[in-house]
Amino acid sequence: MLSKLMDIHGDNSFKAKSYSSAAFTIEKLPMQLATVEPDKIFSIKGIGESVGRKILEQLETGTLLALQEYVHKTPPGVIEMLNIKGIGPKKIATIWKDMEVETLGELLYACEENRLTLYKGFGEKTQQSVKEGIEFYLGTLGSYLYQQIESYTLNVHEKLNKAFDAEFILTGTFRRQMEIIEKLEWVTTASGDELKIFFIAGNYEIVNEEAGYVSFKGKENVTLGFFCCYEGQLYNQLFATSCSEVFLQAWISVTGWDATNPYSSEEEIFEDCNCAFIPVCERETAEIIELALNNQLPELIQTTDIRGVIHCHSKWSDGLNSIEEMVKACIDKGYEYLVISDHSKTASYAQGLQVERVMAQHGEIDELNAKYPSFRIFKSIESDILSDGSLDYDSNVLSTFDIVIASVHSNLKMTEEKAMLRLMNAIANPFTSILGHMTGRLLLSRNGYPVNHKTIIEACAAHNVVIELNAHPRRLDVDWRWIDYALEKNVLISIDPDAHNVDGYNDCKYGVLVAQKAGLTKEQNLSSFNLARLEEFVVQQQLKRK
């Protein structure tokens, strides 16, 4: 470890190599080093005076001061990268110091955005190998993004229904469309004993067993939990296990629900309580119950309501496809428009567009708009929000864009005061159309910089700025828990895939899933505007700049 950390920091390569050689020698010894007499350690071939002293220090104290010093000055996420097959200390040094990436989640996101290939020593094969290595490693930690666990969940569900003559209904956080899944759960009419026989035969271990509940874990490191009940109680159990604790307590208090009554569906439970059916994804807060009792639930946005793709990257910056390839993919999916938003000039790590390349790209867009007259490509940019909150071009260049998405990509380690200064200045800039991924978070790896959500939402309302719901499964930023306040302030949301290839369009689905949790309707989402309405929006943005 010491030699690897020294290599990452670029310190004394001769010493680092000697420590590495000594570690290899020790690993091959036929006996435990702790059983060797201290004075004989120095006589082992490959262990010199300096290394020998460090071995004794570790044997006597249980620690190594030099190692602790390196650990202290190295971000934990950088150390964690040593667990990933395919990247050694030299490549990790490039990732940390040149790419400014400090966690595995950030590195995985960089792979997905095709950024590793921009650096010496990282080809497409290496990038793919690193991506697969990280995904495997993160899978051993037991927490998953909804998108990561989705296909596995559906496969297990199908196998259960084939293997048992019993009913299985998915419940828990997956059914509630939560962005992070810790375990998968079902309600079932199968018995605990039947389940134990099945899973133990499949080399699963029992994780937990109590009255009416049993859970298992297999080689995939995913916990599978089962609420076992009789047919008459199946839907009571389903209802109780597919809502938040806050919602459930409020429901019992407000409706007086009798969970002992037998029901043949969840709809019957709502009918019995004289309440409109509340979709599972919305069963989070107490407030939604009042709306349902008064029949005031909104008609939730659906994936089919997305009319065009806003915020995507092409080969002009760090995307994998040409603009025309992205246009054709949009047309194939029935979309009406594409808002191409490559990175701005400061984002050198992503081949951000210098001014002359902006103009060249606009020329290509004009040609493509002429070639595809029934489709519309809008000229956009994902402009970096600089350290003082200004945008990445002067007003002459910014005025050439139809839509400007303003996002923070650098210097993410900020106090709330600094973050708010940057964001508030960017929001007040008349050229800002959309505030991109508000907190910069990456789920399961980076919390994002601290912000005052209410103040930002109120500023967006005052300056007619749309708030992005970045639909990349690792972002889902703005957090859905703040969307209701944005809607209260009449701020538009924009579900955007932040696509770096045509397959990335599919991520719109995950933005929709969490937007449904917040009660978003298609009327409140910018990317649900048809072409004519989006053209009106662009005109309004141009008027705002004057």
Delimit the domains of the chain by residue range: 1-74, 87-140, 144-293, 303-544
Q: How confident is the model at residue 467 (pLDDT cuts 50, 70, 90)?
A: very high
Residue-level pLDDT at 42: 65
Check residue 31 and give its pLDDT: 61
Of 124-133, 169-178, 272-281, the least confident: 124-133
Q: What percent of the chain has pLDDT over 90?
A: 71
Using the 8-state DSSP alphabet, how is residue 118 labeled? G
Closest CA to 527 of 467, 459, 486, 487: 467
pLDDT for 35 equals: 66
Q: Tell me what pLDDT residue 156 has.
A: 97
**Residue 112 confidence (pLDDT):** 85
The fold of 303-544 is TIM Barrel (3.20.20)
Among 330, 294, 396, smallest CA distance to 531 is for: 330
* 169-205 pLDDT tens trace: 999 999 999 999 999 999 999 999 999 999 999 999 9
Q: At residue 23, does pLDDT exceed 70? A: no
Most confident of 16-30, 137-151, 270-284: 270-284
- Flag whether pLDDT at 28 surpasses 90: no
The tens digit of pLDDT for each residue in 518-542 reads 999 999 999 999 999 999 999 999 9
In whole angstroms, give the CA distance from residue 81 to residue 73: 15
Residue 43 has pLDDT above 80, yes or no: no
pLDDT at residue 136, as a whole number: 80
Provide the percentage of residues in the chain whose pLDDT is more than 70: 93
pLDDT confidence of residue 66: 76
Largest CA distance in the chain: 85
CATH code that applies to domain 144-293: 3.30.460.10
Q: What is the 3-state secondary structure (H, E, C) of 350-368?
A: HCCECHHHHHHHHHHHHHH
Would you state the pLDDT for residue 24?
67
- For residues 499-527, average pLDDT: 97
pLDDT at 45 (0 to 100): 67
Q: How far is residue 517's CA from residue 279's CA, in Å, rounded to a whole number?
A: 9
- The mean pLDDT of the chain is 92
- Mean predicted confidence (pLDDT) in 457-478: 97
Q: Please compute the mean of the pLDDT values over residues 305-321 and round it to a whole number.
A: 96
Per-residue pLDDT at 40: 66
Name the band, by pLDDT with cuts 50, 70 and 90, for residue 476.
Answer: very high
CA angle (444, 447, 450) in 5-degree steps: 165
Q: Where are the alpha helices (DSSP H) in 205-334?
A: 234-241, 245-255, 266-272, 287-293, 323-332
Candidates 35, 72, 59; CA nearest to 51 is 59
For 34-47, what is the mean pLDDT?
A: 66
pLDDT at residue 362 in the model: 98
pLDDT at 482 over 70: yes
Query: Which residues make Cβ contacts (< 8 Å) with residue 187, sequence separation at least 6?
Result: 168, 169, 171, 226, 227, 229, 234, 237, 238, 241
Query: Does residue 235 register a pLDDT over 90?
Result: yes
Under the banding of pLDDT at 50, 70 and 90, the label for residue 405 is very high
Residue 84: is its pLDDT beyond 90?
no
- The contacts of residue 57 (CB under 8 Å, 6+ apart) are 63, 64, 65
Given a cut of 70, whether residue 32 has pLDDT beyond it is: no
Mean pLDDT of 448-460: 97
* Residue where the block lists tokens 């969490």: 514
Report the pLDDT value the prediction gives residue 519, as an integer from 0 to 100: 96
CATH class of 1-74: mainly alpha
Picking from 493, 428, 492, 494, the residue whose alpha carbon sits closest to that of residue 455 is 428
Q: Would the pLDDT of 39 be above 80?
A: no
Mean pLDDT of 352-372: 98
Better pLDDT: 17 or 511: 511
E-assigned strand segments in 71-229? 144-145, 168-171, 180-181, 183-188, 205-210, 213-217, 223-228
Q: Which residue has the higher pLDDT, 375 or 131?
A: 375
Nearest in space to 456 (alpha carbons), one of 424, 417, 490 = 424
Q: Which pLDDT score is estimated for 48?
A: 67
Nearest to 437 by CA among 307, 311, 313: 311
Q: What is the DSSP letter of 378?
A: E
Averaged pLDDT, 85-103: 88
More confident residue, 13 or 170: 170
For residue 334, the tally of other CB atoms under 10 A from its CB is: 10
Q: What are the tens digits of pLDDT across the range 208-225? A: 999 999 999 999 899 999
When pLDDT is averaged across residues 335-340 and rounded to a whole number, the result is 98
Cα 472 to chain center, whole Å? 6
The stretch 136-150 carries a mean pLDDT of 86
Contact yes or no for 208/198 (Cβ under 8 A): no
SS3 210: strand
